Structure 1
Amino acid sequence: MKSLPAFAFAYRGVLVSLCPLSCALPPWSGLAPRVEIAAAALLLCLGLGLRLAGVREIGGRARVHSAGARDLVSSGIFATTRNPLYLGNALAAAGATFLLAGPLAAAATGLYLGLLYALVVRHEERVLLSLWGAAYRDYLERVPRWIPRLGGSDFSGRSREPYSWSEVLRLEKWGVLAVACALVVSFAFPDTLAALRQRAELRTAIGALSILVFVVLFVRRASRSKRKHGLIFHAE
């Protein structure tokens, strides 16, 4: 049976799909619509920027189903924070729920993902320590887990050149497109967005849809895991 951190790592993509549940929270309208949109846009852009910077260092390895690493990456954004991808995901998700349902939803999303990624990182760090030993322990001691350290440096040097920005955008094109469209629509129709937030039935529908998506993704992920283990046992 998987430990809780190992389960959180294996199912992290599935568990993230529950973030829209926070949209069921009542909206808070203490700010002008354009101010709320600007705050949400800041979260979205910060989150996307962190993720793109992380992908520039590790490329397609940003999406994996098993913990581990072919080489220890400590350059670029990884010299300032050990988990730019997870931090970026959390900020972007908080920004998205801010747009949909306001600051209470954003705070709930940030708290949920903070707890989820804390478990995920515990599993990853344990695996990487077993793989890289003293080199990774030195990295843990010198680079913060979450809050980026200003003036970070490549203390271990680069093992390879970073990916080109064109390759990064190819890998992350759907996320970039989604953020761009969300911001354009939000700034173009701020009052309409504010009015939609007040509709409880719409917020409830978003939450219900997220549960449905979660169930579908969970079943697919569990089935894939079962087939994988079945093949391993058959080979043995």
Structure 2
Amino acid sequence: MRSLGSLCITTAVLGRFWAILYIGGRKNAQIMQEGPYSICRHPLYLFSTIGAAGFGLLLDSLTLTVVFGLGAFAILSLTARREEAYLRATFGAAYDDYAARVPRILPWPWLFHAGPGVELNLYALRRNLADALVFIAAFPVAETIRLMHQAGLATGFGIF
């Protein structure tokens, strides 16, 4: 389970960087429809959900995997709805057309398409690095909890 959790968290970090390369500083300024935004409208939320579930896997707990994964998905789905209200008000029919073709968070990989390049925004990448550190911090936190559990210091937690 820990190996799968590590894979999920690595996927979350790399996936978030992939999405940031495309959206850069253009969030809410245009409708991004290429790269990860061609397979789902909110790839940052997709990868964050994968990372949250990965943390549960790192803790060797299917219960926490489901709670963290579904919890993140539910919260981020609500956030996406609020963002989409703004995008519909800003871009009108163009956003409606995009939303009709591309799913909100769960990806449809066969829709993937990308242009010849992406515009690099170092500020957006730096900001995403700070967000990625939350997921990277899952490794030492999970290991500390595992060691505490092995030492008998976390035996009261029935979810592990």
TM-score normalised by the shorter chain: which range applies? 0.7 to 0.9
Tell me the TM-score normalised to structure 1 length: 0.54
**Which 4+ runs in 1 deviate beyond 6 A?**
184-187
Q: Give the number of equivalent residue pairs.
A: 157
Unaligned 5+ segments in structure 2 are none
Task: Note the 1:59-70 alignment, pairs <5 A.
Answer: 59=24, 69-70=28-29
Query: What corresponds to 2:84 in structure 1?
Result: 125
Tell me the TM-score normalised to structure 2 length: 0.76
Pairwise CA distance, 1:40: 0.9
Query: What corresponds to 1:172 in structure 2?
Result: 128
Task: Note the 1:104-183 alignment, pairs <5 A.
Answer: 104-151=63-110, 152-154=112-114, 161-163=118-120, 169-177=125-133, 179-180=135-136, 182-183=138-139
In 2 relative to 1, CA 143–111 (structure 1 residues): closer, same or farther, beyond 3 Å?
A: same
Identity of aligned residues (%): 26
**In structure 2, C-alpha distance between the alignment counterparts of 1:58 and 1:168, rounded to whole Å:** 9
Match of 2:11 among 40, 46, 61: 46
| CA RMSD after TM alignment | 3.4
Equivalent residues of 2:19, 2:37 under 8 A apart = yes
Pairwise CA distance, 1:167: 6.0
**In structure 1, C-alpha distance between the alignment counterparts of 2:75 and 2:128, rounded to whole Å:** 22
Pairwise CA distance, 1:163: 1.8
Unaligned 5+ segments in structure 1 are 1-35, 63-68, 205-236
Match of 2:150 among 195, 198, 214: 195
> Structure 1 residue 97 and structure 2 residue 62: aligned?
no
**In structure 1, C-alpha distance between the alignment counterparts of 2:69 and 2:152, rounded to whole Å:** 19
